[in-house]
Amino acid sequence: MRRWQWLAIGACGVFSGCSLSQAGKPTWLENPRREPVAAVRPVMSRPANVVTGSARLPVDAMAEATSLAATESPLSGRASQVRASQVPTPTVPGSRATASGSSLPESTKAADSGPTRSQNATAGLLRSEAQADTVRPAAFATPPLRQAARRQDPAIQDVAPQDPADQNSAPQGRPFQLPDWIQEAVNSQMPTEFGGDLGSRDLDAELARQLDLATVVDSAVQYYPLIQETIALRQIAGGDQLAALGAFDTKLKGAALTGAVGFYENTRGSLSAEQPLWNGGSTYAGYRIGRGDIQPWYQERVTNEGGELAVGFELPLIRNRTIDDRRAELLKNEQDVLAVEPLIRQQSLEIALFAAEAYWSWLAANAKLGIQQELLEIATSRTVQIERTIELQDRPPTDRVDNSRLIATRQTSLINAQRRVESAAIKLSMFYRNPAGSPILIGASLPDVKFSELDLSQLSTFEQDRQFALENRPELQYLVNQAERLRIELQQAGNIGLPELNLVMDASKDAGAPSSDKRDKSQFELESGLLGYWEPQQRKMLGKQQAVRGKLTQLQFKRQLVGDKITAELQDARSALNAATRKYQQTQANAELARQTAEIFRRRFDEGDVDLIILNIYEEAEAAARSDVIDAKAEYRVAQALYQIAQGELPQ
């Protein structure tokens, strides 16, 4: 170093406010506990063996130093004098005050009657350095060399900047002490259980750790109310089918008539049973009896004393032979019963997707809660280190306040993370239910939960997955049932236009004593024949067929649209899965880089190269990068579930 630079450094020491005692030692060595007087933080690094302000220089050396400093300084004239007058210079014992407010040793009285231009320029430089130091980031204001100098000279310490409102609680020049209520808030602990406070039974934490996606999906599919509502369609469709089957029930008929008043007094009674047949016909059997004086024109009512037994049937030959209204209604209700299953599967797939999203969101919220807890523990564990460095005067007392502020900030972030866990647990309880259908609230945080490693295996070809989805998706199966139902209606409409031609046969035999001398009721009787009619205009048949064909056309286009939607959903799910895979890989790389960067700055912080604020930036960046990895994992899992559901499978 050049000679004038050493002299300049020594001249700056004259203005720093320290002096030598009568024994030739610095005054701060005689009184080590003496508080420094407004020490100005230096900007430039200084050698460890040079302690600013620890000795006085001779007058001629000081004059040469100030002269050289004035020569090198860009400040001159009135501006230098004004700036020099604004610099508060400590009073040194054995010195006199100058006109500019500075002080000089007594030995300089004869040689200097006031501040010279060189001295004003030097003071202006010191003022500029002091002002620059107040706005320069703290990471560059405390280099290792300066810390070494502080360890050699404990009298040099920083004074924490104070707010005027805090001057009563923290006197100038003394370490800043936080109020008790702030300390209590900073040191408060977050509760890990919350279920009891929400009026619900908590799931044991160990059981919660064993909870997997398959258990949640199975619970949702079995006990979710909306799925139970859809399952009730089975009962509705089954009831309609049973009602349609009632058209084939056996019909019992009976009658008891009497003509007690009139010219012809008689009594009659009958009992019969009719059984419809699946082929559109019917059979019947009956018994009837007639007693008394029966009108001559109603002689068919007359029976022998024992009554008459009769059997018969009716069989369609053209119309109602292959299908009739009874069979059509029953067949359509059977299709309605079959159509309920695709509806249940479709509803189950939708709820399973929501359950998967809720599960992975809950798992991600717990994992990110663990990150926030680790971040808080780092700041809390650093308190002892910071207090020690402040005692050694390696760091300013403001680091104590900064660390407390960071702890409070991270406490707030932890509260937000805990709230997200609670919200995710409440949402998950809507899908995770007990056999009674009641939600199970996981009322404990699991910050130590870990995501399983992702299986980034290759997918099968898109065309294979597409064909499988078109065959497996319940929406298309439902449309198949609807098409079959319309074909039944079309067949029923065609049956209306056919001519009705039925074969009928009836056999009867009276029993008991004959009712007349002619014995005309005693013989076995057999009657058969054909019955029929036809509507030649066929407008009813043509109108129904036209309407049903229109519905089939609609259904055809609807099936095409549903197929296109399934293909689009599969494409979108595959795209989301591919993007989630790439995003996960990038976030992993970013997290590793952020971890390495944070480790570097932690070491630099321990060495004193950076301050707490800079370190916090990189620690927050590391935590954010780790959270991004968790979000990427959850996004991949949801995309995987979406791709499985797009193929008509429950997520696993």
Q: Could you please report the per-residue DSSP string of 40-103?
A: PPP-S---TT--TTSSPPPHHHHHHHHHHHHHH-S--HHHHHHHHHHS--PPPTTEEE-TTS-E
Q: Mean pLDDT throughout 6-11?
A: 45
Instruction: Kindly report, residue by residue over 76-103, the tens digit of the pLDDT.
Output: 333 334 333 343 444 434 444 343 334 4
The reported pTM is 0.66
Candidate ranges 12-16, 184-188, 627-631; pick with highest mean pLDDT: 627-631
pLDDT for 78: 37
Res 288 pLDDT > 70: yes
CB atoms within 10 A of CB 135: 6
**Is residue 172 over pLDDT 80?**
no
**pLDDT for 471 beyond 70:** yes
For 286, the enclosing helix (H) or strand (E) is strand 282-292
Q: Given this model, what pLDDT does residue 520 score?
A: 78
What confidence category does residue 176 fall into, taking pLDDT thresholds of 50, 70 and 90? Answer: low
| Tokens of residue 37, six digits | 């007087």
- pLDDT at position 568 is 96
Residue 266 pLDDT level (bands cut at 50, 70, 90): confident
Say if residue 7's pLDDT is above 60: no
- Work out the average pLDDT over 390-399: 84
Residue 603 binned pLDDT confidence (cut-offs 50, 70, 90): very high
For residue 522, name the pLDDT band (cuts at 50, 70, 90). Answer: confident
Average pLDDT of the segment spanning 284-295 = 89
Inter-CA distances, 433 with 203, 213, 358, 442, 465, Å: 11, 13, 13, 11, 32
**Per-residue pLDDT for 185 more than 70?**
no
pLDDT of residue 210: 81
Is the predicted pLDDT of residue 646 greater than 80, yes or no? yes
Residue 55: the pLDDT is 39
Q: How confident is the model at residue 517 (pLDDT cuts 50, 70, 90)?
A: confident
pLDDT, position 141: 40
pLDDT of residue 184: 67
pLDDT digits over 322-333, tens only? 999 999 999 999
Give 273's strand partners: 252, 285
Query: What pLDDT does residue 102 have?
Result: 40
**pLDDT score, position 22:** 41
Q: What does the alpha-carbon distance between residue 75 and residue 99 come to, in Å, rounded to a whole number? A: 19
What is the model's pLDDT at position 322? 92
The pLDDT, as a whole number, for residue 43 is: 37
pLDDT band at residue 487 under the 50/70/90 scheme:
very high
Q: Between 93 and 392, whose confidence is greater? A: 392
Tens-digit pLDDT profile for residues 308-350: 999 999 999 999 999 999 999 999 999 999 999 999 999 999 9
Please provide the average confidence, as pLDDT, over all residues in the chain. Answer: 76
Q: Is residue 293 a contact partner of residue 264, using CB atoms and an 8 Å limit?
A: yes
Structure tokens at 460: 């099968």
Q: Where are the domains of the chain?
A: 3-157
Find all residues with CB under 8 Å of 651, minimum gap 6, and list them.
213, 217, 352, 353, 356, 640, 641, 644, 645
Task: State residue 449's pLDDT score.
Answer: 72
Per residue in 233-251, pLDDT (tens digit) is 999 999 999 999 999 999 9
Q: Is the pLDDT of residue 305 over 70?
A: yes
Tokens at residue 160, please? 């924490």
| pLDDT, mean of residues 376-387 | 88
244: Cα separation from own chain's centroid: 47
Comparing 392 with 202, which gets the higher pLDDT?
Answer: 392
pLDDT band at 198 (very low <50, low <70, confident <90, very high): low
Share of the chain above pLDDT 70, in %: 68
Top-confidence residue, 481 or 76: 481
